[in-house]
């Protein structure tokens, strides 16, 4: 498909998307649900190295530490894990795999390669059971959005998906970073289930990403575009890739930039078809992907055959 070929080249414009996706994107721009008011610069056409440096300059992965209001007065300093995520793994991992949930993971046969990494990151409800050949079975960290914690259908408390792994949850806060407003009106109430889970399983590392971290990543995506991108947080995929670049020497990302297996199948584990899952509607996914592709130091063959992007950890980025 021509859209995917343009993504491989890193030169995709919104005009190439279907009218339906273009309309959805415009609606999100007009709605501006999170009150985004971007005041930064815009530098289109930075090189991959320049983008890497800009991202490295930003905050290392940051999680709620309970020191700020309203979390401080609610006693969260005793609720959050003693070690922040940035310190949990000491010097960090050598090699890390980020496994997106894209339908193109199906029939990839990448399971063994994925499991050979020191750490594997997965997303939301993505299973390994029954899909080991294609996605592997090792999970080190799982990023979950607030809906997983809040909606009963996900059975957060009982499902094995959320056991024996490090959990990292997130929810879109206002762009102004008003934590009071966020606490009283999150997208989905993740705070109550988080507290409850921390109390029941204090030994399981479980973090909530700081909204500052998420919006700072969004700012970099916007800074690298002349067009206005969707004023909504980056996808879990983008957040996860950047998080692993802070924790690992080298990061391999699978089926974020689609391979030749590209499909409208939304997730490898569900029979639901929608091109928006790969190209974006709510999330500024297209712009995220062009930025990641620009930083890719892996081969064209890896990208086309495996949907694999190779990124240096920030420790190995010298600016």
Residues 238-267 that bind ligand C5P (CB under 6 A): 238, 256, 266-267
Reported residue count of the chain is: 319
Establish if 230 lies at the interface with ligand C5P (CB under 6 A).
Answer: no
Q: 103 or 313, CB closer to ligand C5P?
A: 103
Query: Given the DSSP bridges, would you call strands 141-145 and 119-123 parallel, antiparallel or unpaired?
Result: parallel
The stretch near ligand C5P (CB under 6 A) out of 107-115, 165-173, 175-183, 229-237 is: 229-237
Q: What is the dihedral of CA 52, 53, 55, 60, to 10 degrees?
A: 120
Establish if 235 lies at the interface with ligand C5P (CB under 6 A).
Answer: yes
The stretch near ligand C5P (CB under 6 A) out of 68-76, 132-140, 187-195, 233-241 is: 233-241
Each residue 164-193 as x (binds ligand C5P by CB under 6 A) or -, in order, gives ------------------------------
Q: 81 or 231, CB closer to ligand C5P?
A: 231
Cβ 235 to ligand C5P shortest distance, Å: 3
Distance in angstroms (rounded) separating the CA atoms of residues 119 and 248? 9
Integer Rg of the chain from CA = 19
> How far is Cα of residue 19 from the mean position of the Cα atoms in its chain?
26
The stretch near ligand C5P (CB under 6 A) out of 55-63, 70-78, 183-191, 230-238 is: 230-238
CB 272 within 8 A of CB 233: no
Count of residues engaged in binding ligand C5P, rule: CB under 6 A: 15
Residues 83-102 that bind ligand C5P (CB under 6 A): 100-102
Task: Say which residues have a Cβ less than 8 Å from residue 279's Cβ, sequence separation at least 6.
Answer: 3, 17, 21, 285, 286
Establish if 103 lies at the interface with ligand C5P (CB under 6 A).
Answer: yes
Establish if 277 lies at the interface with ligand C5P (CB under 6 A).
Answer: yes
Q: 80 or 251, CB closer to ligand C5P?
A: 251
Residues 107-126 that bind ligand C5P (CB under 6 A): 123-124
Establish if 162 lies at the interface with ligand C5P (CB under 6 A).
Answer: no
Distance in angstroms (rounded) separating the CA atoms of residues 119 and 187? 30
Query: Residues of 88-110 as b/e, b for ≥16 C-beta within 10 angstroms?
Result: bbeebbeebbbbbbbbbbbebeb
Q: Which listed residue (230, 278, 293, 296) binds ligand C5P by CB under 6 A?
A: 278
Cβ 237 to ligand C5P shortest distance, Å: 2
Provide the 8-state DSSP code for 78: G
DSSP structure string for 37-58 = ---S---TT--HHHHHHHHHHS
Q: 63 or 236, CB closer to ligand C5P?
A: 236
Please name the helix (run of DSSP H) or strand (run of DSSP E) that holds residue 252, with its range, or none: strand 248-254
Asked if omega into 70 is within 30° of 0 (cis), the reply is yes
Q: 51 or 102, CB closer to ligand C5P?
A: 102
Cβ 258 to ligand C5P shortest distance, Å: 7
Establish if 139 lies at the interface with ligand C5P (CB under 6 A).
Answer: no
**Number of alpha carbons in the 13 Å side-chain half-sphere of residue 300:** 5
Task: Say which residues have a Cβ less than 8 Å from residue 269's Cβ, sequence separation at least 6.
Answer: 101, 125, 126, 127, 131
Establish if 236 lies at the interface with ligand C5P (CB under 6 A).
Answer: yes
In the complex, the residues that contact ligand C5P under the rule CB under 6 A are: 100-103, 123-124, 235-238, 256, 266-267, 277-278
């Amino acid at each position: 498909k021509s859209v995917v070929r343009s993504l491989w080249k890193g030169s995709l414009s919104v005009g190439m998307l279907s009218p339906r996706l273009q309309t959805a994107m415009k609606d999100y721009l007009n709605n501006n649900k999170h009150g985004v008011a971007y005041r930064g610069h815009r530098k289109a056409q930075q090189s991959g190295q320049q983008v890497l440096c800009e991202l490295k300059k930003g905050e290392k992965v940051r999680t709620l530490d309970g020191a700020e209001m309203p979390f401080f007065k609610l006693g969260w300093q005793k609720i959050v894990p003693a070690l922040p995520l940035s310190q949990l793994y000491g010097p960090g991992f050598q090699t890390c795999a980020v496994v997106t949930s894209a339908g193109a993971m199906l029939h990839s046969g990448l399971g063994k390669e994925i499991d050979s990494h020191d750490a594997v990151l997965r997303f939301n409800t993505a299973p390994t059971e029954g899909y080991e050949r294609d996605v592997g079975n090792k999970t080190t960290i799982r990023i979950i959005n607030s809906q997983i914690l809040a909606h009963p259908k996900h059975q957060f408390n009982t499902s094995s998906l959320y056991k024996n792994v490090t959990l990292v949850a997130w929810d879109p806060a206002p762009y102004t970073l008003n934590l009071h407003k966020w606490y009283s009106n999150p997208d989905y109430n993740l705070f109550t289930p988080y507290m409850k889970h921390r109390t029941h399983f204090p030994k399981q590392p479980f973090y909530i990403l700081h909204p500052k971290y998420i919006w700072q990543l969004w700012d970099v995506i916007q800074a690298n575009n002349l067009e206005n991108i969707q004023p909504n947080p980056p996808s879990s995929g983008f957040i996860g890739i950047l998080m692993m670049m802070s924790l690992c020497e080298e990061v391999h990302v699978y089926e974020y930039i689609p391979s030749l297996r590209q499909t409208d199948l939304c997730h490898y584990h569900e029979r639901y078809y929608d091109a928006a899952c790969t190209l974006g509607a709510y999330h500024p996914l297209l712009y995220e992907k062009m930025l990641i592709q620009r930083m890719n130091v892996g081969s064209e063959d890896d990208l086309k055959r495996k949907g694999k992007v190779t990124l240096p950890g920030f420790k190995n980025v010298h600016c």
